[in-house]
Chain A
Amino acid sequence: MRTTHTACTLVAIAVTVTACWSDDRPVQWQRPRSVLGPIPLKAHVAYVDSALDRVVLVDVGADAPVISHTEIGRRALYAVPSSNNHQLFVITRGEQAIHKGEIDQPPEFWVVDAQNPKAAAVGYPIGSPFDRVAVSPDGKLAIAYFSAGGTDPDGFFRNPNELAVINLESPAGETNPALVTIRSFGSVPAGIALSPPMVLPHAADPTPRTFAFILSANNLTVLDATHPDRHEISIRLDLGGAPVVPREVVFAPNTASAYVRSDHARDVLQVLLEGEPPDPNERNANDFRAVVAELGAGGGPTDIAVYDDANGRRQLLASTPNTGEVVAIDADTAQFRSIPVADPIDRVLVFPGADAAPHKALFASVGAALPRLYVLDLDHLDDPLAQIKLTKITLDKPVRDVVAVPGRDFAMIVHDDARTVLGLLDLSTAATSPLLGVGKLDSYDFSPDGSHLIGATTGVSRVGFVSLDNLHPTDFRLDDPPAHVLATANGKIFVDHGGPFGHATIIPSPSATRSDAVVLSGFLTADLLDEEP
C-alpha cells in the first residue's frame, strides 16, 4: 500500500510539473525588424537585417546566386558601400540590457568585406549612437556623426558636434576611433565630405593625408582626419542675411584645395590648404591653414560640376543665375571664363560622366521647368582664342529632371513629375527622342556600360529596357511586381520584389530571355530556423 501511495505521489508531481512547463522565448524573435537594402556592391547585393543582426549578401557573380550572411551588432541603423563597392559599412545602435534576453552592447561601426563573405565583420566601438557615416575615397578613413535629427531618445546627454574618426587600416583600440568634438557656432553638422589623400604645400610632413570638410549652416570646419587629435579650423560663411548652407564640396587634390558650393552664398568658395609650422606653445596644434577665396562666379552658384580635362587639369563649371551666366574655372589656377545665358540654370552635368575626360556639358533649368537645354563644348575651353558659346536645344515639354547616362553622351530627360514622359538627348547630335512609359518610372538604373536604360514601375510585373544605341525598347515579363531595380557592376540586373522573405529576379543581361533569368526566394530568411539566439 505504501508503494502505491509513493507511486501515485511521484506520478502526480511529474504530471503537475509537466503541465506547468514554461520558459522564455529569446527576445531576438520579438524585436521589430527593418531591412536596409538592396545595396549594390561589386558582384553582390547586400541587405542589412536589423532583427537578426546580420548582413545578407547575394552573390550574383556566378550563374547560380550564392547566399551568405555575416553577423553584425544589434539594431542596424545605417549602411553605405565603399567607393569601390567592395565593402559595406554599417552602423549599429547596440542595445541596453533592460529586459531578459537583451545584452549590453555599445554602438559600433562594422566593416563587411563582400569579397570575402566568410570572414567575420570587423567592428569598431564608436561610443555614441551616430547615425551617419562618411568614408574617404581611398577607403582608409571613416567618420561617424549625427544626422541633423539625431537618432533616438535613448541616452541622457547628446553632443551633436561629436565625431568618431575611424582608421580602417588599424584595429579598434583606445585611440581608434578617435572621438572629437568640433567647435560649434550654434549649428550642427549637416554633412561631411572626406578628401582624397592630399599633400600640403609647404608642410613639414610630406605624407598624403585626408581632410574632413564638415558642413553646417554658416560654418565650414576643416579637420585633419589623418591626425584627428589636432585642432580643426573653422571658416565662417555667413554674410549677415539668409544662412549660408554649404551643400557640395569637390576636391582638387593636386593643389590641396576644395571648392564649396553653398546656398545663399555669393560665390563658389575655394579653400586652399597649405602647410604652416604648428604653434609650439599649443598642444595638439595643427600644421596647416586654410586660405579662402571667392571664385569669380559672382552671383550665388546653384550647381557645380567638376571634371579633369584631357590634360589632367581639374576644371569646375558653375551656374550663377543671379549674374545670368555659367562660369568655367580652372581649379588649379583659379582662372575663369564666363558664358552668358539668360535662363536660371540649376543643373550642370558633364558627358561622358565616367572616368574618361568629358567633352560636353549640359545645363538645365529644372527648378523653373523651362523647355530648354544648353550644351557646352568643353574640348576648347582652355583655348583663350576659341569663342565659347552655348548650343541651345528647344524641347516641346518642360524639363523636370535630367540624368546623365554613365559613360555615354546621352542624357535622360524627365518631362513630368510622375516620370511617365521621358526623353533621351544625344549630345553628339543634339537630337531628342521621346520615350513613353506605361506608368511612373518608380525605379531605374543604367547598365554599367551605359548601353541600356532599365526601368520598373511598382505594380507592373515587367522590367523595361531601352537600348541607348538605337533606342529600341524591350521588356521582360516578371512573375511578380518589382519594388526596386538595379544593375550590378558586373552587368547583371537585380530586380527586388520586396517582402520580408527576400524575393528577387536576377536577369543576366538586358538581352536575356526568361529562361536565362533566375528567381531567388527566401534569401532574407535563409537558415532562419538554424539561428541560435
Chain B
Amino acid sequence: MRATITPVFVSVFASLWLPLGLTAATPSRADADPSVSASTSASADTNRDELWFGGDFRALRSSSANALTDANLAGVSFGYARDLGIAVLPRLAVWAEAGMAIGGTTGTMFQTLSTDLSTIGLTGGLRARYQLHRLIVASARLAFGAQRARVAITDSSGSSASDHGWGSMAQASAALDLFAVTRPPFGFGVRAEFGYVAAQAIGLTARRDTSGDTLMLPANEIPLGGLDLSGPAFTISFVGQF
C-alpha cells in the first residue's frame, strides 16, 4: 500500500519546521538573561548552533529489502541543530535539529536482475546531550520524518522497470561526540551515532521505463509489494558548532 499524503506531509512539515519553530521560541543568546541562561543551558559559555556532515549507513534486513539487495544502505547525512536552552538536569541540554540523509545501494536478484535502490530522508527531532567531559558529549536523539525510496530493476537485456514512493519514518539513536575544540566562537569534533530506523513500508510497482511519444495502451501494472527500509543505522559525522 502506497503511503498516503497525510502522514508524509505531516512528517515533512514536522521535520522542517519543528527545529525552526522551537528555535524561534528560544531566546537568542544576545537577548538572554544570563541568570536564566545559566540555569537552562548546560553552560552559558558554549556554542548553541551546530552543523554536521557525515556518512550514513543502514543495515537493510527486512524481507522486502532482502529481496532487492544483500548490501546495506550507504550515503551521506547533514543537518542543523540548535540548543533550545532547556536544562532538565545539570550538564544536560536539549537541542532541536533537522537533518537530511541521502543513501543508495545496488544488488542482484536471481543472478540476472540488477537492482538499484536510492533514498532521501528528511527528519526533525530532539537531541538530549549530556556533557561527560569538557571534550566528550553523549547524546540521545529521537527524530521523525519522511523518506523517499526509488527502486529500479534492470534485466540482462537492459530493459528496466522502476518506481518511487514516500513513507514516514522515525529514528532513535545514541551518539558519542569527541570534540577537539568546544569554546566559542567555533568548536568542532567527530560524532559516532548508532540507532534504529523504523520506516513505513513503501508500496512500489515496477513500471516499465518507456520513452518517445508513441501512444501506448494504459498498462495494468501489478504491485511489487511494500518496501520496508527499517534497520539498525550508524552515522559517523563531522560536527561544527558556533
Query: A residues engaging B (CB < 8 A)?
Result: 3-4, 7-8, 11-12, 14-15, 17-19, 21-23, 25-26, 29-33, 51, 64-65, 67, 479, 499-503, 505, 514, 517-523, 525-533
Contact = CB atoms under 8 A, between A and B. Distances in A.
26 contacts: A7-B130, A8-B132, A17-B194, A18-B194, A18-B195, A19-B194, A21-B234, A26-B63, A29-B110, A30-B70, A32-B111, A33-B111, A514-B217, A517-B217, A519-B216, A521-B161, A521-B206, A521-B221, A522-B205, A525-B206, A527-B223, A527-B225, A528-B67, A529-B63, A529-B67, A529-B227
Contact of A32 (B64, B67, B110, B193): B110
B72 to A, nearest CB: 8
B219 A520 contact: yes
Q: Majority SS of interface residues in chain B?
A: strand
B224 A529 contact: yes
Given A522-B161, A528-B67, A529-B68, 5 more contacts: A500-B155, A519-B219, A519-B220, A521-B221, A529-B64
B224 A528 contact: yes
Interface residues on chain B, size class: 35 or more
Contact of A521 (B174, B176, B192, B219): B219
A46 to B, nearest CB: 16
Given A11-B175, A18-B232, A23-B61, A499 B222 contact: no
B3 interface: no
Nearest to A11: B176
Interface string B66-97: 11111010000000000000000000000000
Nearest to B139: A11
Nearest to B205: A522
A458 to B, nearest CB: 13
Contacts of B227: 529
Interface in B198-242: 204-208, 214, 216-227, 232-234
Contact of B70 (A3, A25, A500): A25
B236 to A, nearest CB: 9
Contacts of A30: 70, 108, 110-111
A518 B220 CA distance: 7
Contacts of B68: 529
A373 B127 CA distance: 89
B63 A499 contact: no
B110 A31 contact: yes
Contact of A21 (B59, B67, B225): B59
A82 to B, nearest CB: 26
B110 A51 contact: yes
B58 to A, nearest CB: 9
Contacts of A65: 220
A499 B159 contact: yes
